[in-house]
Each structure stands twice: as C-alpha cells, then as structure tokens.
Chain A
Amino acid sequence: MPAALALGDDALVLSHRLGEWAGNAPVLEEEVALANIALDLLGQARALLSLAGDEDELAFLREERAFRNVQLVEQPNGDFAHTIARQLYFSAYQQLLYGQLASGEGPFAPLAAKAVKEVAYHLDHAEHWTLRLGDGTPESHARMQRALDALWRYTGELFEPVEGVSADWPALQDGWSAYVTDVLRRAGLTLPEGPREGAWTAGAGRQGIHTEPFGRMLAEMQHLHRSHPGASW
C-alpha cells in the first residue's frame, strides 16, 4: 500500500528527527513539547505502516531508496529555528491533508480523524514559536528567516499527488500558501523566494530519492535491529 508508506514514512522520519532533541532543548518545557510531538508522530507512523505491513520490518529493514517520505522531514534539526520552520511547513501540510482525509471515506479517514487533533496542537506550537522567533530579538528574527529560506526548496514536494491518497492537491497547496503567508506576515518575516520544484525536489522523496543526511540517519536508526536478525524486542 504505497500511500500508507508515504504518509507513514513522513511521520516516522520526522518523529526520529524530533527524538534527537531529547536532552538538548533550549528550555525544559520544550523537552516536553518536542518529545510529545515526536510521540504523536510515531503513533501515526505505527498505525500507517501497519496498514502497509509489519511496522518494524518496514522501519528497520528497508534501505534508503525504499523510503517514501518527503525530503523535508529528513532534513537535519539544525538550530531551534530550523526545527520550528520544518515543523511549521510540515504540520500545516499535515493538518490540511488529514483534514481532507478525515472528512472523506477513504481507508485513511479514521486514522486522519484522530491525527488531525494531534496535528492541530503541533501546528499551534510551531506557529507560536514562529511568531516568537520572528518577532523576538534581531538574532532570533535572522535565524528564523534563514531557516525558512533554507527549507523552502523542500516544500514543493508536499503537493505532489500521492497515489492512493484522494485529496484535492491544488486546494491543499492554496490553503497551505495562504496560511504560511499569513503566519510569516504576522511574525514580521518575509515569504521565501526561489524554486520549490525541480528534479531534485518535487516528488523526489516520494520516489525514494533522498538527501545525503538521510542515509546516516537510517544507519543509526536501523543498526541495532539489523544486528540481531530475527530477534524480537
């Protein structure tokens, strides 16, 4: 079930990235918040991957070229602004997509109905940090702008239709643009310019073409599981 893999891999990979923050967050409340979001996403990933097969086989025994997540979610955490920018872009996408799926009748409707509540919280968190960083100090403003600019090129891929996901993709893209534009305006930030589409971005992750940091991430994630073939944990 390629659609479940695509959506499941998005959640799995972003959850992993957020898990890397544990013990490193700028303030204790963010240790709780980032772990909380990571856990929600991991829960979504497990449900979605289970639709496609065995969750652990899919997570730990596929190689890089078989992963179907968008490149945005595999981007390294960077500083806190990069993590927030990635989360803002992705949560806005996820909320719109799950909102559509929840109101439809497809195989993802029940899952989306549960997930959309979690994602509303993730988006609220990302939005408020975007406002705080954008409209905080000159340093936080500059960092937030840099992060938004750096990740912009990975956002085009979000709106490449996924086979088996019945969504109104153009409406998704319009809603996403309207939302992001509004948040950035309120934060005093500038909407990034530059390409969001091209051979190496649009649709690439969904086809198993990833960025370099992803392979290293998988090596760490899969190492122990692969070292004990057939073991159960």
Chain B
Amino acid sequence: MTTTVPDAQAPEAVFDAALAADERIEPRDWMPDAYRATLVRQIAQHAHSEIIGMQPEANWITRAPSLRRKAILMAKVQDEAGHGLYLYSAAETLGTGREELLDKLHSGRQRYSSIFNYPTLTWADVGAIGWLVDGAAITNQVPLCRCSYGPYARAMIRICKEESFHQRQGYELLLALSRGTEAQHAMAQDAVNRWWWPSLMMFGPPDDASAHSAQSMAWKIKRHSNDELRQRFVDICVPQAESLGLTLPDPDLRWNEQRGHHDFGAIDWDEFHEVLRGNGPCNEQRIERRRRAHEEGAWVREAAAAYAAKHDGHHGTHDKHAEHTEHDNHGKPEEAAA
C-alpha cells in the first residue's frame, strides 16, 4: 500500500512525472489500471493482426510465380509470425498470457486489423499489401517507437525495420508488374484499386469519432491523430503511385496548394463499420482458419507439455536430464556414418 509513501512520491505522481519527462514506463512501474488495459487491448490487437495477417499472403505462397518471389514471400510470412511473438511477449509484461489473448482472438472478444478481412485474389495483391498495407502500418507504427510503454516501443523498433523492408519489396513487386506485360500491368492496377480504400481505413475512424484517441495521446501511447497519420500516408503514396505508373482510385484526389497536402475523397465508413462488425468478405474464414489451426494443434502442444513434464520437470534429486544429454550425444548421423 502507498500510505507510508510521501505525497510527492505517490505512484500517480511518479507516473505523471515520467510521462511529462518523456520517460518510458516499464513493466514493474506503477501504472493506472486504465493505461494497462488500453495497452493490453492495443498490443494484443496488434499481435493478432500479425497472426491473422499471415493468411492473406500465405494464400499465395504455393502459387508464387518465381522462386525468388516465393522466397521473399515465405520470409515475409515468417517475419510476421516473429512479430506476433514479440508483441505477445510485450503484452505479457502487462500481466496477461498468450493463451488468454489467443483465446480472446478465437472467441471474437479481441479484434485484429480490419484490413485482413479482404481477400487476396491475384498475385498483385501480394504487392499491394506490401506497398499499401505495410506502408500504412509503418506510418502508424513509427510513432509507436516513441510510445510511453517501454516494451511496446522496443518491439516496434525491431518490427518497423523489418516492415520497411517488406514495404520496399511490395513496391518492387508492383513495379515489376507495372512494367511487365499488359496483363501484368492490369493485374497491378486492379489490386491497387481494391486495396487503396481499405488501407486508408487502417488509420481508424476520423478524429471526431475516435473513442480512445484523446486518452491515448495524453498517455503518450499515441503521438498523432488518426487523420494526421492518414493524411501523411496519402501524401507519401501519391508520388509513389506516379513512379509506379499506377493510378489511385479516387477522382477527388488532388494537390491542395493552400494546405500543402493532398485532398482526397470521402471514405466509406459504413463499409469500415460493417467489416469491424464481422461482416467483411473474409472475417469468418480468417477466424475459422485460426481456430482450426489452434484446435488441430492441441494434441501437439499437449505432447510437448507432457514430454517437458517428464524430462525437464525433475523436481527431486534424480537428474534425468544428465541421462538424456548423454543420449543426445549419440547416434547423430555423421557419427553413425563414420
């Protein structure tokens, strides 16, 4: 309890002072319950997005049109699983567990990014995801590298490096298509047409309708508003689309000299809310596949736990492990062959 702590050292005051000084909050520091809950929600949602986000791209691993592209795509999907692992670890520092979070994902009590409820219909979608979806993610995530919660900020630094790499690869994939045959160019344009608006929705609802924004900004979890980041993203994408030789599907998109920004058309927020409500094109299929992988893998996880209990969980003096280490040195094929 805090009764013996002098007023100036009250945990709320320490927390507020740390935020004011732009210091990081660490797992063992006191933090308001609502700050903790917000972070768990956001980091878990972020982790879930990495995991669900593997599906639309994995959909093309077995059909990638060249071995080089196949290797790039496999590496990317592998990175996403790794990002999921970092983020679940970051969430666990807040006193929750990966199992609990996965359970919430599978039962629909926690969300993942709405973008992954759209289908990947052609190979070019893999490029559009890299360029636009990862591009939007990076625009969102770079400020999170300065987020007030230390473990999250550090996870984001590692993740952003890899994401930037993926984004460039996606751009390069689209460039190859855009400069390729007529059919390839058309495939690239079609993918950009389908992914542009959903990518803009990744920044969340407009500022005047964003429930958590003000508090998150006060806590320095968020550093910029949804609309600010969305505008930044549009301004980055317009010249990139031009150099790709592709158009963005927005007749209202034009440079505004006075604002020094691009104006762009209205987002279909009804669609956004429908997708969030579970009525997007792939919501059911994504969760179903995740649930199935988890359920079908239960016996494997149980086997690993049972094995560990038998072999690593020696609580007494009998050292089973030594016995096994000895075994492990035998029968490696290079020795057996010698």
- A interface, CB within 8 angstroms of B: 12, 16, 19-20, 22-32, 35-36, 38-39, 42-43, 45-46, 49, 55-56, 59-60, 79-80, 92, 95-96, 99-100, 123, 131-133, 135-137, 139-140, 143, 171-172, 174-176, 178-179, 181-183, 186, 220-221, 223-225, 228, 230-233
Contact = CB atoms under 8 A, between A and B. Distances in A.
Contact of B303 (A95, A132, A220): A132
Contact of A22 (B58, B296, B330): B58
Contact of A182 (B177, B305, B330): B330
30 contacts: A12-B67, A22-B54, A22-B77, A25-B297, A26-B293, A26-B297, A27-B297, A28-B84, A30-B297, A32-B82, A36-B78, A45-B67, A49-B67, A60-B66, A92-B333, A95-B334, A99-B334, A133-B300, A139-B299, A140-B302, A175-B334, A175-B336, A175-B337, A178-B336, A224-B64, A224-B123, A231-B181, A231-B184, A233-B66, A233-B69
A213 B64 CA distance: 19
A111 B299 CA distance: 38
A45 B311 CA distance: 37
Contacts of B303: 132-133, 136-137, 139-140
Nearest to B181: A231
Contacts of B63: 220-221, 223-224
Given A26-B300, A39-B71, A221 B327 contact: no
A32 B81 contact: yes
Given A59-B67, A232-B176, A183 B331 contact: yes
Contacts of B81: 28, 31-32, 35
Contacts of A131: 307
Contacts of B55: 23
A50 B40 CA distance: 48
Given A28-B84, A49-B67, A99-B333, 6 more contacts: A26-B294, A27-B300, A80-B300, A175-B333, A221-B63, A233-B69
Give the 5 A-B residue pairs with the shortest CB-CB distance, closest first. Answer: A26-B297, A136-B303, A175-B337, A182-B331, A140-B303
In terms of DSSP, what is the predominant structure of the interface of chain B?
helix
Given A31-B54, A32-B85, A139-B303, A26 B336 contact: no
Nearest to A177: B336
B251 interface: no
Given A23-B54, A23-B293, A132-B307, A228 B333 contact: no
Most chain A C-beta atoms within 10 Å of own C-beta, residue among B58, B70, B305, B334: B70
A135 B327 CA distance: 15
Contacts of B275: none
A56 B66 contact: yes
A79 B63 CA distance: 22
Interface string B170-188: 0001001100110110000
Contacts of A230: 181
B123 to A, nearest CB: 6
A206 to B, nearest CB: 21
A49 B177 CA distance: 25
Nearest to A140: B303
B108 to A, nearest CB: 18
Interface residues of B, number: 60
A225 B336 contact: no
A220 B123 CA distance: 13
A137 B62 contact: no
Given A24-B293, A99-B337, A179-B331, A31 B300 contact: no
B310 interface: yes
B58 A225 contact: no
Contact of B67 (A26, A46, A95): A46
A136 B305 CA distance: 8
B331 A178 contact: yes
Contacts of A59: 67
Given A137-B299, A233-B65, A35 B78 contact: yes
Given A32-B85, A132-B307, A179-B332, A26 B301 contact: yes
A215 B63 CA distance: 14
B74 A136 contact: no
Contact of A23 (B66, B75, B77, B184): B77
A186 B328 CA distance: 9
B51 interface: yes
B315 to A, nearest CB: 19
Nearest to B177: A233
Nearest to B333: A179
A84 B256 CA distance: 59
Contacts of B51: 28
A55 B297 contact: no
B300 A228 contact: no
A136 B337 contact: no
B238 interface: no
